[in-house]
Structure 1
Amino acid sequence: MSQFPKQALPATIDETIAMLEAHDYLAGRSLATVLFLALKLKRPLFLEGDAGVGKTEIAKVLSKALGRDLIRLQCYEGLDVSSAVYEWNYPAQMLDIRIAEAEGVRDRSRLETDLFSEKHLIRRPVLQALSASTGGAPVFLIDELDRTDEAFEAFLLEILSDYQVTIPELGTVKANEPPIVIITTNRTREVHDALKRRCLYHWVDYPSSAMELAIIRRKVPGCNERLASEIVAYVQKLRTLDLFKNPGIAETIDWATALVELDRVALDPETISDTVGALLKYQDDIARINGSEGRQTLDAVKAELRAVG
């Protein structure tokens, strides 16, 4: 059961924006609108965008804001039904069989009924999301769907059609109330249109300079205004350089936090070189930034900030 008290769904788009902001998630109006509609219409929300732009965080914040359980299905290559939906506790079943044999139990049908009962059922995320009975419908996060294969995607489409799943030994489990479904993908492959049609769609882009600066002010309150402005301007410039992996807002926050911990008040080449591992995660990108291109980028940022300030 959620540790947060259950809250009513927002009644307007403005209330949705305020709800997210109250939990330190700054959302543009377009994102707030599609989230409001997903809650109102009880439709899954399909969020697509580069890694690190805050897709997963939306589900986490929504869980806290609404006081609902967060159930997360982390997708990966090879994910199957037993890992996603349910499986039987085989060691416990074998133990019961041995005990039954020792006690001389000969009623095979009764033994089978006991072996395939609720006490031996291991509920995985899909079944947990469909069978939740307290605290209202949970927030069901299906994270990085693009990492799975098309077979699992087709299975998921079936689940989202009726919000039910059949366990041969126990019968059909149907959700009393559809969960609040958030699906994320980093677009490493295309997800089939049939699944997207079940959802409301939103592309989560990198934030604007103004939005990213507001996020840094909110998430890293110890960051002084000059340093925050330079960090945001520098990261925004890096995203134009066609790096192997552009830094997301999560990396910007990590970098700002690291610089505050080091008592930095402004950016300089040495500081960037020492801390760039908090911002970039690939050696080729780091090598570019530690070279002349990184220094030129910093000089351009400083010049632009002097021009406007």
Structure 2
Amino acid sequence: MAGLDSPGTLAELLDHHDYLTDDGLATAAFLAVRMGRPLFLEGEAGVGKTELAKTLSAILGAPLIRLQCYEGLDAAQALYDWDFARQLLHLKAAEATGATDARALEGEIYDRRFLIARPLLKAVETQPSVLLVDEIDRADDEFEAFLLEVLSDFTISIPELGTIRAESPPVVVVTSNRTREVHDALKRRCIYHWLEHPDFDREVAILLRRLPGCAERLAAEVAGAAARLRAAGLVKPPGVAETLDWARALTTLGAVRLDPELAAVTLGAVLKYREDQDAVRTQGLRTLLGAAPGSTGGPTPGSTAGSTADPAPGGTRHA
């Protein structure tokens, strides 16, 4: 963390690693790193929550350890497990050599070499590290309470081996898509930040940086269409990843602008639900392709969309 002396410095480092951010997110991330507090990122899917953790890992030169949450996840799956197959092989090998001391054998099979470290134990044992607890809202309430206990002191007790304590706490990023409300107790332990989708100018800048072969007019029209899709009440509004896929598909087809015919045949790159595609076609593709937000038709080729605009809330990786 040497040299990370201000939110502005962190913002510059994030930009250097192709992650666009604003003062709010840069400050929240900086405080989380310097204060040793988890960073709780909440927002719609595709706004850059997971990517921020990956980028922090690159900036800090620390391995990223990811705990993907899901319904039914329990403490054992997140902490550690014993390698029963290797333990059994060890017992059979000991029997073959005539070993008879049961107490000694028991001590041997519960040796550290037979322990399989899961993400939380790996994060405690690895210094430095970045621990990503992804989509905590998908886990059960019981796991959420357990996670809060671990994050309070980064200490893990293993009955057969004793207590393992982190020499220095990992940088922790917790993400939520808000499919359910996360308990206040966990949020109070963290530095909290809500991420929005990027605004029009920022999304144009993302497209141009990530897809250097993309025409500026096409980037502007795709960003404008994506903004309208997000306001259309769809089942699954497109995130930045989908916008990039759409622009990449159009560029692959040789497009320099977005027209109704191309939009119709490439909707599968940006909308992943049949209901959403049907709704867009019903509303009319020409409505979707109207003037870009805040403009009279989007930037023309040769313009510098996104180069001087004020940053939007949140942050988004664009390369």
Same fold (TM over 0.5): yes
Q: Which amino acid aligns with 1:200?
A: I
Q: 2:200·2:293 contact (CA, 8 Å) conserved in 1? A: no
Question: Is residue 2:55 matched to residue 1:23?
Answer: no
Q: After superposition, where does 1:32-181 map in structure 2 within 5 Å?
A: 32-132=26-126, 136-181=127-172
Compute the displacement of 1:141 (Å): 0.3
Deviates more, 1:249-258 or 1:292-301: 292-301
1: distance between equivalents of 2:3 and 2:134? 23
Evaluate the alpha carbon distance shift between residue 32 and residue 265 of structure 1 in structure 2; reply closer, same or farther with a 3 A threshold: same
Tell me what 1:272 maps to: 263
Q: Which amino acid aligns with 2:192?
A: Y
Q: 1:9·1:39 contact (CA, 8 Å) conserved in 2? A: no
Q: Work out which structure has the larger RCO, using CA pairs closer than 8 Å and 6 or more positions apart in sequence.
A: 2
Instruction: Give the SS at the match of 1:96.
Output: helix
Compute the displacement of 1:307 (Å): 8.0
Evaluate the alpha carbon distance shift between residue 215 and residue 300 of structure 1 in structure 2; reply closer, same or farther with a 3 A threshold: closer
Evaluate the alpha carbon distance shift between residue 32 and residue 243 of structure 1 in structure 2; reply closer, same or farther with a 3 A threshold: same
2: distance between equivalents of 1:82 and 1:43? 24
Evaluate the alpha carbon distance shift between residue 304 and residue 294 of structure 1 in structure 2; reply closer, same or farther with a 3 A threshold: farther
Q: 1:165·1:174 contact (CA, 8 Å) conserved in 2? A: yes
**TM-score of the superposed pair, with normalisation by structure 2:** 0.90
Higher helix share: 1
Compute the displacement of 1:300 (Å): 4.7
2: distance between equivalents of 1:223 and 1:296? 23
Q: 1:71·1:129 contact (CA, 8 Å) conserved in 2? A: yes
Evaluate the alpha carbon distance shift between residue 80 and residue 13 of structure 1 in structure 2; reply closer, same or farther with a 3 A threshold: same
Question: Is residue 2:4 matched to residue 1:10?
Answer: yes
2: distance between equivalents of 1:302 and 1:179? 41
Evaluate the alpha carbon distance shift between residue 9 and residue 289 of structure 1 in structure 2; reply closer, same or farther with a 3 A threshold: farther
Tell me what 1:217 maps to: 208
Tell me what 2:195 maps to: 204
2: distance between equivalents of 1:57 and 1:142? 12
2: distance between equivalents of 1:307 and 1:74? 39
Q: 2:217·2:299 contact (CA, 8 Å) conserved in 1? A: no
Instruction: Give the SS at the match of 1:306.
Output: coil
Tell me what 2:314 maps to: none
Q: Which amino acid aligns with 1:127?
A: L
Q: 2:216·2:299 contact (CA, 8 Å) conserved in 1? A: no
Instruction: Give the SS at the match of 1:73.
Output: strand
Q: Which amino acid aligns with 1:61?
A: T
> Residues 6-60 of structure 1, C-alpha deviation per residue, up to 9 Å, x if partnerless?
x635211111110000010000111011111111111100000011111000001
Q: Which runs of 4+ in 1 moved over 6 A?
A: none
Tell me what 2:173 maps to: 182
Instruction: Give the SS at the match of 2:50.
Output: helix
User: What is the aligned residue count?
Assistant: 300
Evaluate the alpha carbon distance shift between residue 121 and residue 293 of structure 1 in structure 2; reply closer, same or farther with a 3 A threshold: same
Deviates more, 1:299-308 or 1:272-281: 299-308
Question: Is residue 2:220 matched to residue 1:229?
Answer: yes
Compute the displacement of 1:256 (Å): 1.2
Evaluate the alpha carbon distance shift between residue 303 and residue 212 of structure 1 in structure 2; reply closer, same or farther with a 3 A threshold: closer
Tell me what 2:313 maps to: none
Compute the displacement of 1:268 (Å): 1.1
Evaluate the alpha carbon distance shift between residue 213 and residue 169 of structure 1 in structure 2; reply closer, same or farther with a 3 A threshold: same
**TM-score of the superposed pair, with normalisation by structure 1:** 0.93
Instruction: Give the SS at the match of 2:47.
Output: coil
Q: 1:255·1:279 contact (CA, 8 Å) conserved in 2? A: yes
Tell me what 1:193 maps to: 184
Q: 1:223·1:256 contact (CA, 8 Å) conserved in 2? A: yes
Q: 2:137·2:182 contact (CA, 8 Å) conserved in 1? A: yes
Kindly report the root-mean-square deviation, in angstroms, between the aligned alpha carbons of the 2 structures. 1.7
